[in-house]
A and B are shown apart, each in its own frame.
Chain A
């Protein structure tokens, strides 16, 4: 028995037959993304690079550490499967580029994840709370902006030694600032939307409103912004490594390889060109994918 039933006269509307299957806004954005050829190609290439970096070193006969004494400072060649050549210690550059790529991508993805989590939580709370809380939280962000991250990075590395997790930590500690600002701005406009008022009017708690009503509406912006953050973090890591502050030998990264290659550019140009090309291609792909996501989430494209 329907306890809500009303006997009245208001017209009952005809049932719409065969209405299309329900689709969430995310699914709709996904479908739009899949129609974007350029972004799709970039995504495929990116996945290929990621796969190669993580799985490739396991499949190749050479490894990143051992020297091949019969092949020192070799230009790219089929001999001994040194497709990218070798460095002056006879280490295979292809494997080292893949290994370095794995480290760089790990830093990039982990850093983006951490900065995204902190940035979204921080920005959404600041934007939704507003007033004094917002002012205090955002002044903290402003203060952090004023600290030169390079100085902190140098300090951390000299105090605690060069370690992978320290690189991620240092980069994440600063890269969430932009995300927090973007998210806060977006939250400020979302906060005035009527569905947030409606949620408040039905007695939903503030933190629940942030988590359930604000954050899902932010995800489009966050995903797009994250795709910009990945390359910036990979580049930051490269810069740190280039300055000798990044990961430690024999571990390597694209930054380390490029630094190394840059010093021997005239004698062995492949040492620079091979890892640099991989880095550039990866960053281009991420940017393309990010552009595609932005278009897919753009309400004007609907």
Chain B
């Protein structure tokens, strides 16, 4: 395509031609972006300002009423709080676990291929199927966890059915699900680090810990940023397990923002309020990404 441009005689035509080619080249991506990201986001924003259409009452403009309703909605406050705890629990745990697993399977250990596969398996399993397995891990009495506790003479526990543990039980599933996926990125990054750098550190007499902290970790910076952004998105979007494990219960103690949006949109058919909640979710995710790029990104060392 580009070869056509120089044949055109005048500079202006050349300029136009280049632009046309450029637009044509980005058109497919742009079309998809507009159709599946930009338009839905704009439509959601618009819908959040209108009431939910009913059979005898079409949607009408209500301004910020839905957002006002949110301020007085105790369940909204609760799911937001839960989601922050869920993020605070799952993000550091899954990223740290991913790094640990990557370091382990990057080293020369026996059964390395098998270990890599085992760590990655949770990523491939559909979350709904995996959650059904976890349901039986958590089952009081004869579930895996309770059997372990009984073996050591401890009392069993109703993990999913008790308000104080339901959210953490769900968080553990998220960590298990995500860590293997993040491990792959760390593993790739670890293998990109030139051996000469580690050798140089060894010659200088640096301990293994010191080498890891001063050489390996800084070089993993861009990967960590990428993984962190994904972990934050995961903390707000990975809620499939709730459908199987707790349905947000007991009494909303394990309910999360996206699941609450689902409940409002498709159980209560309150699409207006659900749209407003979605706007809040988008704002949270946008703010989180922005903060990460500004603060973590600035300190990230790109090779």
Query: Is A bound to B?
Result: no
State the B residues within 8 Å of A (CB). Answer: none
